[in-house]
Structure 1
Amino acid sequence: MRVKKVFNNNVVLGVDEHGAETVLMGRGLGFQVRPGDGLDAGRIERHFVPQAMPAERLAALAAAIPLDEIEVMEEVVADARERLGADISEHVLLPLADHVHLALARARVGTQIEYPLKWEIENLYPAEAATGRAALDIIERRLGVRLDGDEALPLALHFVNAQIGSGSGGIAATMQMTQWLRVALETIGERHGVEIDQHSLAAARFITHLRYLFLRARDGKPTPEVGDGIGEAVRQAKPLQYATAERLAHKMEEMFAWTVGREEILYLALHVSRLTARDDSTEDTRADT
């Protein structure tokens, strides 16, 4: 590994023999080294492979964050991985650290930000929201600063983003998806006259399905196939739920200009049926609304 660019005494952009770039960190790693110099592997404490942003931008981000804050965020990421699973990888560390670095600066001068989607994050992503609150406890214990409770919300979105792998869209795409989830649940509740329990198993499964529907539609990936005739059978047996699924597909097309296929509508109808399971005696009078 050789130096491509030095950002400060602790951060350099390295390049291997194949031309692949990696952001490298270590105390004093960049001291008195120049582009083209070889790097002592024993002095490299952390490395980050660029994914959602160019390597130089990632390195500049790392250089702007004190090492002690990055060390704290390593504990936050480790805790999040224990709570949420292995999808919380090291790739989320620097975006998290960048957010916390700015939040700490705001806290020092008494500035607060009002974050949108507070209800949605708390109710659609309860595990991630709880992990965000736990992160605030770790930050206070390690750095002696208690961040405002709402700072857990963007941290939760970072954890959601890490799990679904929303790629170049980053947090903006995750917020877009969160808005879509809210619209979908509101649509079901209004059309069926029910109050959906956000914390029920059926709701959790539906939200998970919607997350991956959002990503499949956005990325143009095919829907898992189902057997011939199943869609028509569901439409005949559950006309109101199927009509609601069609409405959800139409709303997604309106919001994002994406095409939602017939098989995807079938999956949506099955989830709607589970969410609204009750006396179906009123279906015939409402199925065409």
Structure 2
Amino acid sequence: MKIIKVLNTSVVLAKRDDQKEVIVMGKAIGFKNKPGSTINDADIEKIYVPENKSTSNDLVELMQETPKEYLMITDEIISYAKGRLAKHLNEHLYIALTDHLYMATKRFNENLTIQNRMLWEVKKFYPEEFSIGLYALDFIEKQLGIQLPEEEAANIAFHLVNAQQTDDNMNQILLMTNTVKDILNIIKFHYKIDIQTDTINYSRFLTHLQFFVQRLLENKMLGTPDHDLFDQINKKYPVEGKCVDKIVKYVKTNFNYDISDEEKMYLIIHINRVVSRGNA
């Protein structure tokens, strides 16, 4: 295996005997070698094989300014996630997550925190991915001695959710997009308003809708643990409740699915926030 390009002191781009380009990591492997050099097998700690040229190019660019530890941490997290989720994860996750973790630790070291306003929704609607995110935080602490906040577990979970979208389900993604758009139009016509799209409440609501529609399409809607609580919310926000009734009718007509009271309750709460606060 010969070096094509030295990315940093510990990472190189190399070519195997079968002419496949690979990312090779090892202590000082880039310090004592140069393009054209043959890599000593004893110096190799990890080999990453990109599936396509585009991913390889993106990784090469990323690793020129990112310590190798972050790609190795990402590789461990993804390996663990694949075992837990038993789903295909888009290869670009290696790049996106490596870059995110590197920037997250830089912000942490500089005492800069960015609050994840979707922490609660991710914990509630994607518990498996969030659990993997918590595992990732423990692993990062062991490897780097840095204890990142819980919000980062949600950020990692969100990367995992996005990575489950592939070219094979583009029709589902298109259906999801159109369904979200239809529900937003139902709300606009019900209230006879244009919803402000540059507010935090709108951003939260849009994310909630995306999660809601994804659960709908995957037949993973929330159950109904507390009828009394739903009745209280419905009585407190009757206008929002009537709006949700229209959404329920839309879902029943287009997907032949009955929305649970818990799902309705969350929709009522989010609609109230985006209408009363987002357009104040």
Q: Shorter-chain-normalised TM-score: which range?
A: 0.5 to 0.7
Q: Distance in 2 between matches of 1:139 and 1:185?
A: 40
Checking the alignment, whether the CA contact within 8 Å between 2:116 and 2:154 is kept in structure 1 is yes
What's the CA shift for 1:136? 1.7
In the alignment, what sits opposite 2:250? 244
What's the CA shift for 1:159? 1.0
Q: Distance in 2 between matches of 1:153 and 1:38?
A: 42
In the alignment, what sits opposite 2:159? 158
1:269 equivalenced with 2:275 (yes/no): no
Checking the alignment, whether the CA contact within 8 Å between 2:90 and 2:166 is kept in structure 1 is no
Percent identical pairs in the alignment equals: 26
In the alignment, what sits opposite 1:225? none
In the alignment, what sits opposite 2:138? 137
**Alignment CA distance shift 1:70-1:28 (3 Å):** same
What's the CA shift for 1:147? 1.3
Q: Secondary structure at the match of 2:164?
A: helix
Checking the alignment, whether the CA contact within 8 Å between 2:66 and 2:102 is kept in structure 1 is yes
**Alignment CA distance shift 1:68-1:21 (3 Å):** closer
Tell me the amino acid that sits aligned with residue 3 of structure 2: V
Q: Distance in 1 between matches of 2:11 and 2:175?
A: 34
Tell me the amino acid that sits aligned with residue 83 of structure 1: R
What's the CA shift for 1:103? 0.8
Q: Distance in 2 between matches of 1:131 and 1:186?
A: 32
Checking the alignment, whether the CA contact within 8 Å between 1:115 and 1:153 is kept in structure 2 is yes
What's the CA shift for 1:49? 0.6
Aligned residues: 211
What's the CA shift for 1:245? 5.0
In the alignment, what sits opposite 1:14? 14
Q: Distance in 1 between matches of 2:126 and 2:248?
A: 26
Q: For residues 58-207 of structure 1, what are the structure 2 equivalents within 5 Å?
A: 58-88=59-89, 92-115=93-116, 117-165=118-166, 206-207=216-217
Tell me the amino acid that sits aligned with residue 96 of structure 2: P
Tell me the amino acid that sits aligned with residue 244 of structure 1: Y
TM-score by length of 2: 0.56
What's the CA shift for 1:58? 0.7
Q: Secondary structure at the match of 2:36?
A: coil
Tell me the amino acid that sits aligned with residue 250 of structure 2: T
In the alignment, what sits opposite 2:38? 38
TM-score by length of 1: 0.55
What's the CA shift for 1:113? 1.4
Q: Secondary structure at the match of 2:216?
A: helix
What's the CA shift for 1:152? 1.9
What's the CA shift for 1:104? 1.0
**Alignment CA distance shift 1:188-1:67 (3 Å):** same
With 152-161 and 92-101 compared, the bigger mean Cα shift is at 92-101
In the alignment, what sits opposite 2:218? 208
With 55-64 and 116-125 compared, the bigger mean Cα shift is at 116-125
What's the CA shift for 1:160? 1.4
With 27-36 and 114-123 compared, the bigger mean Cα shift is at 114-123
Q: Distance in 1 between matches of 2:104 and 2:25?
A: 23
Tell me the amino acid that sits aligned with residue 255 of structure 2: A
Tell me the amino acid that sits aligned with residue 97 of structure 1: T
**Alignment CA distance shift 1:39-1:144 (3 Å):** closer
Tell me the amino acid that sits aligned with residue 153 of structure 1: A
In the alignment, what sits opposite 2:233? none
What's the CA shift for 1:28? 2.8
Checking the alignment, whether the CA contact within 8 Å between 2:130 and 2:154 is kept in structure 1 is yes
In the alignment, what sits opposite 2:232? none
**Alignment CA distance shift 1:132-1:242 (3 Å):** closer
